[in-house]
C-alpha cells in the first residue's frame, strides 16, 4: 500500500528552467493538493483538485500549473523557475469526507533554484 | 478566514517529562482541528483530530489534545516524552474554501533530551 508517492525527492534547477513534480496516489482519493513548505511559514496551498479533470488555484498559484487527467496522478509544473520557488513541495490526498480521515501526505520534493 | 497560531517556535523537554505544544485557532463556525507531525526529510503524518464530541482527543503514539472552546485552543499533550518524539509539529484547521483545504500553523519544533 504505497499511499502518496512523489518524485523526485531532490532537484536543483537553474533560473529559467522548467520541471514537473510528479504525484501519484493509489487510494482512489477524490481530492488532491499541492502545498509548499517554507521555514517558519507552515504550508501554503498552491493548487488543488476535487476529481479527475477538475483543478483550481490555491493561495499561491503564480508560477505553477497542474493537470489531473486521472484520479491517481496530479503533476505540478514549474515554468521559468525562480529563486523564490526554492522550497519543499508536498502532495496530499484525501477522501471526499476528509474530515474523518484527514490528509495523506507524500514524502516531499526538495527543490532548489539557483 | 480560518487560521491557527503556534506561539512557540521550539519546545524543549526532558525525556520522561510531560510535554505540551500549544495551538490557538480563529474560525467562523465550528472548528475542525488537526495535529500533524513531521520527522526530518519525511512527509507530514496525521496524529489526531477534533471534529465534535469529547474535548480530550486521543491519537497516535500516545499523544492527546485538549479542545478548549472558551480559550480557542487545541494544545497537544503527552504525559511522558520520548527522545523519538523530537520532530516538527503542525496544528491545522479546516477551511471550507479551496476544496476543504487545511490551514497550517507555522510549526513547533519539539526537542526531547535524554
CB pair distance less than 8 Å for A90 and B43: yes
- For the stretch A42-67, pLDDT in tens is 899 999 998 999 999 998 999 999 99
Distance, in Å, from the CA atom of A4 to the CA atom of A71, rounded to the nearest integer, reads: 12
Cell numbers 510535554 label which residue? Answer: B19
CB pair distance less than 8 Å for A108 and B43: yes
**Are the C-beta atoms of residues A104 and A4 closer than 8 Å to each other?**
yes
Q: Where are the beta strands (DSSP E) in chain B?
A: 3-5, 10-14, 19-21, 24-26, 33-38, 44-50, 56-58, 64-68, 73-78, 87-95, 101-104, 108-113
3-state secondary structure (DSSP) of residue B14: strand
Q: A102 to chain B: which residues are within 8 Å by CB?
A: 34, 36, 46, 49
Distance, in Å, from the CA atom of A13 to the CA atom of B64, rounded to the nearest integer, reads: 41
Q: How much of chain B exceeds pLDDT 70, in percent?
A: 98
Q: A45 to chain B: which residues are within 8 Å by CB?
A: 98, 101
pLDDT for residue B95? 83
Residue of B nearest to A49 (CA): B99
What is the torsional sign of CA A103, A41, B23, A61?
Answer: negative
pLDDT for residue A64? 97
Residue in A33, A40, A99 closest to B106 by CB: A40
- For the stretch B4-38, pLDDT in tens is 999 999 999 999 999 999 999 998 888 899 999 99
CB pair distance less than 8 Å for A31 and B104: no
User: Is the pLDDT reported for residue A98 higher than 60?
Assistant: no
CB pair distance less than 8 Å for A99 and B49: yes
pLDDT for residue B2? 86
Q: A2 to chain B: which residues are within 8 Å by CB?
A: none
pLDDT for residue A41? 80
**Are the C-beta atoms of residues B26 and B3 closer than 8 Å to each other?**
yes
Amino acid at each position: 500500500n504505497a499511499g502518496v508517492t512523489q518524485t523526485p525527492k531532490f532537484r536543483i534547477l537553474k533560473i529559467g528552467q522548467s520541471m514537473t513534480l510528479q504525484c501519484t496516489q493509489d487510494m482512489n482519493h477524490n481530492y488532491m493538493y499541492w502545498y509548499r513548505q517554507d521555514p517558519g511559514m507552515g504550508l501554503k496551498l498552491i493548487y488543488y483538485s476535487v476529481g479527475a479533470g477538475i483543478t483550481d488555484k490555491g493561495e499561491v498559484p503564480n508560477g505553477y500549473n497542474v493537470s489531473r487527467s486521472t484520479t491517481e496522478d496530479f503533476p505540478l509544473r514549474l515554468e521559468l523557475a525562480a529563486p523564490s520557488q526554492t522550497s519543499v513541495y508536498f502532495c496530499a490526498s484525501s477522501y471526499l469526507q476528509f474530515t474523518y480521515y484527514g490528509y495523506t501526505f507524500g514524502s516531499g520534493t526538495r527543490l532548489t533554484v539557483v | 478566514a480560518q487560521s491557527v497560531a503556534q506561539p512557540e517556535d521550539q519546545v524543549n523537554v526532558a525525556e520522561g517529562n510531560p510535554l505540551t505544544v500549544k495551538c490557538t485557532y480563529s474560525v467562523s463556525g465550528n472548528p475542525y482541528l488537526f495535529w500533524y507531525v513531521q520527522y526530518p526529510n519525511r512527509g507530514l503524518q496525521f496524529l489526531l483530530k477534533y471534529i465534535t464530541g469529547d474535548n480530550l482527543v486521543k491519537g497516535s503514539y500516545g499523544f492527546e489534545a485538549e479542545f478548549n472552546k472558551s480559550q480557542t485552543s487545541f494544545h497537544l499533550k503527552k504525559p511522558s516524552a520520548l527522545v523519538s518524539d523530537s520532530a516538527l509539529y503542525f496544528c491545522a484547521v479546516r477551511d471550507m474554501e479551496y476544496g476543504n483545504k487545511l490551514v497550517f500553523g507555522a510549526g513547533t519544533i519539539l526537542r526531547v533530551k535524554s
